[in-house]
C-alpha cells in the first residue's frame, strides 16, 4: 500500500528525525508503528544517520505487528528486519542475520545484552526504539537494568506509549531516564522523589512510606522538564474517530450469595469442607472479592468454587441482544474463561480465544461471532477493529493501562461503527470501586496529555 501520512503523522516523523531523544505519548490508534518506521527509513537511507536499529516491544507486537507493518507499505520494502524471539537457537540466528532493524521482545532484553557480552561483541545498535515505554516504568526490573548498561553506546532513542503515567507521575522517572540517561529528571530515583513528592501514607513506627503524592506545582515542573523531547497527542484531536459509548449493566447477588461475599469481606475467610477461601491481606482480599463478584473464587487448594451465575446470564442476554453481530469478551481470571466457554457453548455459541495471527485474521474476516480476549496478553498492538465494535467486560481490571489499551483494540482508526463498551457490574461490590478507580487514575494522565500536547 502507498502511505499518505496525516499532518500530525508528518509532524511526528520530522520530530523523530530532528531529535536524538524523543518520547511520543500518542493515543491509541494514531499509528505509532508506521510513524516510527517511516522516520527510521529516512534516518537510515536518506540521511545516513543510523546504521542499525533495535526495537523492543511486547512479544506479540514484536513477532506480528512490526513485521506486518514493514510488509504492508510500499516505501518500507527496502528495510530488512530480523525478529529476535523464540528458542535460544532461533534468537541467536536472528541476531546474526544481516538486517537493518532487529526486533526483540522485552523479556529477552537481558538475554540480548548478555549475548553480546559473553561473545565479546561491541554493542553496535546506534538507535533503540522502545514500543510501549510504560513497560520500563519499573527501575528495579531486569529489562530496565540491562538496557541501562548499554545506554551510553546508543546515540538515538525513541519511546512510544499511549499511557505514560498509568500508575502516577513516579513512572516518568524511569521511562524518561532510560531515554535521556537522567538528564532531565535526575540520575537517582531518591532525589527525584524528594524533589517532587511527599509521603502520602506511612508506618509511623518504622517510617516506611507506602505511597507518595506530588508536591504543589510538581506536575507542571516535571512536564516542563521533559517538554523539549516530548510529543503528546490524543486521538480525538487528530482523527475522525467513531463515537464510543460506555454502558454499565448491573446484576445482583441473592441473599445467600451476598452473605458469602460479606463474610469474606469482614472475616477474611469462608470455612468450607474441602478447602477454605481466605485472604491474607488487603490486596488478596480485593482480588478474592473481584472473583466473587464475577461468580467464582479460588479456594486454598486453587480450586474454583462457584458462587453465582448472574454475570453469565447477563452476558448471554447481551450476546443475544447483539443479534448476530460479533462480540468481544474481556475476562481476567482463568476460571472466568472456563465458565464463560462452558456457559456459552451450552447456549449454542462457539466462543474462541484470540491468541495468534490466524485468530486475528478470522476475527477481522467476520468468521468469529463470540471471541474472548485477556487484557494482559492483548493490550498492545492488536489490529482487530475490522472484526467488530462491541466489547463486553465480564470482569474488571485495576490496571488503567490494560483497560484503555483493550478498549482501543476496537475503538481506533479504521473502525467504521460506533463502538460500545459494556461493563457487567455486580451491584454493591468491589466492581463499583474498580470503575471509580479507573476514572480517577485517568486524571493525572489527562493532565499530562494537556500539559505537553504538541501544537501543529
Q: pLDDT tens-digit profile of 366-411?
A: 899 999 999 887 655 567 887 888 999 999 888 888 888 888 888 8
Whether 165 is in a domain gets the answer yes
Q: Which of 16, 90, 25, 88 is nearest to 53 (CA)?
A: 16
* Together in a domain, 315 and 184: no
Containing domain of residue 226, as a range? 7-238
Same domain, 13 and 48: yes
Based on the fold, state whether residues 224 and 338 are members of the same structural domain.
Answer: no
Q: Which three cell numbers stand for residue 93?
A: 540466528
Q: Which pLDDT does position 276 carry in this prediction?
A: 55
Residue 164 domain flag: yes
The residue whose grid cell reads 516535571 is 222
Is 181 within a domain? yes
Please tell me the distance from the alpha carbon of residue 28 to that of residue 24, in angstroms, as a whole number. 12
Q: How far apart, in whole angstroms, are the C-alpha atoms of residue 292 and residue 200? A: 31
52 and 140 together in one domain: yes
Same domain for 384 and 249, yes or no, is yes
Structural domain count, the chain: 2
> Residue 455 has what pLDDT?
39
Looking at residue 226, which CATH number applies to its domain? 3.40.50.10810
Extract the residue ranges of the chain whose pLDDT is less than 70.
Answer: 28, 166, 267-283, 378-382, 441-456
Same domain, yes or no: 186 and 253: no
**pLDDT of 405:** 84
Among 184, 211, 238, give the residue marking a domain's end: 238
Inside any domain, residue 296: no
Residue 40 forms part of a structural domain: yes
Whether 415 is in a domain gets the answer: yes
Residues 248 and 210 in one domain: no
Residue where a domain stops, chosen among 209, 238, 267: 238
363 & 234 share domain: no
Rounded alpha-carbon distances, angstroms, from residue 382 to 34, 105, 270, 362, 375: 14, 15, 40, 13, 11
Within a domain: 384: yes
**Same-domain check for residues 177 and 253:** no
Specify burial of residue 313 (Cβ count, 10 A radius: 0-12, 13-18, 19+). Answer: middle
Q: What is the phi/psi pair of residue 444, to 5°?
A: -60, -40
Do 208 and 93 fall into the same domain?
A: yes
Q: How is residue 85 written as a grid cell?
A: 524471539
Distance in angstroms (rounded) separating the CA atoms of residues 160 and 62: 14
State pTM to two decimals: 0.71
pLDDT at 419: 87
Based on the fold, state whether residues 206 and 75 are members of the same structural domain.
yes
Return left, alpha or beta for 53; rule: phi > 0 is left, psi -120 to 50 is alpha, else beta. Answer: beta
398: domain CATH number is 3.40.50.300
Amino acid at each position: 500500500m502507498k502511505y499518505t501520512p496525516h499532518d500530525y503523522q508528518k509532524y511526528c516523523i520530522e520530530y523523530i528525525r530532528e531529535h536524538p531523544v524523543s518520547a511520543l505519548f500518542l493515543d491509541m490508534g494514531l499509528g505509532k508503528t508506521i510513524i516510527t518506521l517511516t522516520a527510521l527509513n529516512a534516518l537510515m537511507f536518506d540521511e545516513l544517520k543510523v546504521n542499525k536499529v533495535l526495537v523492543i516491544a511486547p512479544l506479540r507486537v514484536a513477532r506480528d505487528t512490526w513485521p506486518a507493518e514493514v510488509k504492508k507499505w510500499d516505501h518500507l520494502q527496502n528495510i530488512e528486519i530480523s525478529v529476535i524471539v523464540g528458542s535460544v537457537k532461533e534468537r541467536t540466528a536472528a541476531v546474526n542475520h544481516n538486517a537493518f532493524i532487529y526486533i526483540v521482545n522485552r523479556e529477552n532484553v537481558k538475554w540480548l545484552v548478555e549475548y553480546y557480552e559473553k561473545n565479546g561483541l561491541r554493542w553496535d545498535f546506534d538507535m533503540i526504539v522502545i514500543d510501549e515505554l510504560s513497560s520500563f516504568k519499573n527501575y528495579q526490573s531486569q529489562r530496565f537494568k540491562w538496557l541501562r548498561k548499554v545506554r551510553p553506546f546508543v546515540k538515538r532513542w525513541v519511546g512510544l506509549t499511549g499511557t505514560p503515567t498509568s500508575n502516577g507521575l513516579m513512572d516518568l522517572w524511569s521511562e524518561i531516564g532510560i531515554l535521556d540517561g537522567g538528564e532531565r529528571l535526575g540520575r537517582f530515583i531518591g532525589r527525584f522523589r524528594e524533589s517532587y513528592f511527599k509521603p502520602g501514607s506511612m508506618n509511623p513506627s518504622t517510617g516506611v512510606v507506602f505511597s507518595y503524592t506530588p508536591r504543589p506545582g510538581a506536575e507542571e515542573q516535571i512536564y516542563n522538564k521533559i517538554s523539549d523531547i516530548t510529543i503528546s497527542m490524543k486521538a480525538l484531536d487528530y482523527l475522525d474517530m467513531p463515537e464510543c459509548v460506555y454502558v454499565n449493566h448491573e446484576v445482583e447477588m441473592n441473599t445467600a450469595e451476598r452473605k458469602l461475599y460479606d463474610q469474606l469481606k469482614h472475616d477474611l475467610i469462608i470455612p468450607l469442607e474441602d478447602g477454605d477461601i481466605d485472604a491474607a491481606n488487603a490486596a488478596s482480599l480485593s482480588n478474592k472479592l473481584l472473583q466473587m463478584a464475577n461468580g467464582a473464587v479460588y479456594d486454598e487448594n486453587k480450586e474454583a468454587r462457584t458462587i453465582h451465575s448472574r454475570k453469565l446470564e447477563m452476558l448471554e442476554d447481551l450476546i443475544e441482544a447483539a443479534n448476530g453481530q460479533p462480540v468481544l469478551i474481556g475476562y481476567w481470571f482463568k476460571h472466568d474463561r472456563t465458565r464463560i466457554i462452558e456457559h456459552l457453548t451450552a447456549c449454542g455459541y462457539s466462543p474462541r480465544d484470540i491468541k495468534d495471527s490466524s485468530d486475528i485474521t478470522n476475527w477481522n474476516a467476520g468468521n468469529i461471532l463470540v471471541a474472548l480476549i485477556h487484557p494482559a496478553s492483548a493490550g498492545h498492538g492488536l489490529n482487530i477493529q475490522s472484526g467488530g465494535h462491541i466489547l463486553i467486560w465480564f470482569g474488571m481490571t485495576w490496571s488503567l493501562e490494560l483497560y484503555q489499551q483493550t478498549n482501543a483494540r476496537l475503538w481506533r482508526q479504521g473502525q467504521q461503527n460506533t463502538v460500545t463498551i459494556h461493563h457487567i457490574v455486580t451491584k454493591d461490590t468491589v466492581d463499583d470501586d474498580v470503575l471509580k478507580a479507573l476514572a480517577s487514575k485517568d486524571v493525572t494522565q489527562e493532565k499530562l496529555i494537556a500539559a505537553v500536547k504538541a501544537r501543529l
